[in-house]
Amino acid sequence: MQVGALIVIAAFLTSILSGIFGMAGGLIFMGLLAWLLPVTVALALHGLIQFASNLWRVVLHRRHVVWPVLLWFGIGAVAAIGVFSLVIFTPTKFYVFLGLGLLPVLVWLPERWMPLDATRRVHAVGGGFVSTGLSLVSGVSGPVTDLLFINTRLNRYQVVATKAVMQAIGHASKVIVYGGVLLGVAAREAIPLPVSALAILASMAGIMVGGVILDRISDAHFRAGRRWIVTIVGATFLIQAAQIALA
């Protein structure tokens, strides 16, 4: 029961971060689940809860979603799901924590190195493939989808709303690929269905709180805050990966 309560509380608090910055919350939540549960169960549960959370974020900010971008992103995502469905790959805690630790490094790359624009079809398709693939390996891909918005002229609401759909696609891919483990006896014992339902509701509540805070910050604070938050979180996960490797 203590594990279940921790998951519900974490779902709420990390969703507040996601509601504000469109990222960071998923990184922290995935790390917690990977620490508490078997990796495939953690990936599937994270996908289920975060899919609901991001879908709710889309509903709240639906008027700001830039839908044309998502058609091409979705094509790349479907291709990634197809490829990973054919490849026999079982993620381990080391790979999950390594991925969670390295992904935030991307936010510090000079913008001239990544002249990406989500409104360009080739960039959107490529981004959909890469980010969905990384989501299936490490559980998250927020910093990758962030790169797609470097050279766009979208405001913070459009970034959060459009990225929410992208993230929902990535989380849905984890449910498609790993969702079967949630039906197993071991998964049901580790995380009972009522706990999963409460975690989903908690994540939706957190998104609403985050949305209120988003209204009160500037675009400058929005961009600076998310960079430092994911960097600190990423460093923590790299230390965890190193500890696993040396154990």
The DSSP result for 184-246, as a single string, is: SHHHHHHS-HHHHHHHHHHHHHHHHHHHHHHTTS-HHHHHHHHHHHHHHHHHHHHHHHHHHHH
What is the pLDDT tens value at each position of the chain, 247 positions in all?
588 889 999 999 988 887 777 667 888 888 899 888 888 888 888 888 888 888 887 888 889 888 888 999 999 999 998 888 777 667 788 888 888 888 777 767 766 777 788 888 899 999 999 999 888 888 877 777 878 887 777 777 888 788 889 988 988 888 888 877 776 766 677 778 888 889 999 988 988 888 788 777 776 666 666 677 778 888 888 998 999 988 7
pLDDT at 72: 92
Single pTM value for the model? 0.80
pLDDT at 91: 78
Domain that holds residue 202: 2-246
Classify residue 223 by burial, with Cβ atoms within 10 Å: 0-12, 13-18, 19+. middle
pLDDT at 12: 93
Reference 99, options 209, 243, 206, 241; nearest CA is: 241
Radius of gyration for the chain, computed over Cα atoms and rounded to the nearest angstrom: 17
Q: Are 206 and 14 in contact (CB under 8 A)?
A: yes
Q: Considering its fold, how many domains does the chain have in total? A: 1
Distances (CA, A) of 120 to 68, 69, 87, 203: 10, 8, 29, 32
Give residue 238's identity as a one-letter amino acid code: L
pLDDT at 185: 63
Read off the tokens for 167.
């993230």
pLDDT at 17: 83
Read off the tokens for 85.
């469905």
pLDDT at 110: 66
